[in-house]
Amino acid sequence: MEKSMTPSLEDYLETILFLYQRNGNVRVTDVALEMGISKPSVNKAINILKSSEYVQHEHYGLLSLTEKGEELAKEVADRHFAIKRFLQELLGVDEKRAEAEACSMEHSMSHETVMLLKAYLDKVL
């Protein structure tokens, strides 16, 4: 994770990835609705992500992840799903709480720790 990449910006990348996988295209409005935030907030974040070459966005057009953005978004999503799986399947945390807590925890775990967690889950589940 880059020093300038905040947990909030990672959430935007992850949301764009999920929306693209679900809908085949993504607009600022879609991101705002999915995240429950205002379009101006999304636009501000998208401009930061665009200047850092994580997303491409034509004014009032579709959003897409660059190769760099997709790579980071997939890494964040991977961490998210591993943590959520651990919380739900091994600890018995209900789905809603596991989802919320995975969102918080995914930003602070290293790639190495997540790989160990995934290996552990694959062994025991």
CATH number of 7-71: 1.10.10.10
- For the chain, the structural domain boundaries read 7-71, 77-124
Q: How far apart are the first and last CA of the chain?
A: 29
How far is residue 8's CA from residue 6's CA, in Å, rounded to a whole number? 5
* Predicted TM-score (pTM) of this structure: 0.89
Same fold, 7-71 and 77-124: no
Burial class (CB in 10 A: 0-12, 13-18, 19+), 41: middle
Q: What is the pLDDT of residues 21-40, one digit of tens each?
A: 999 999 999 999 999 999 99
Q: What is the pLDDT of residues 78-110, one digit of tens each?
A: 999 999 999 999 999 999 999 999 999 998 888
CATH number of 77-124: 1.10.60.10
Question: Length of the chain, please?
Answer: 125
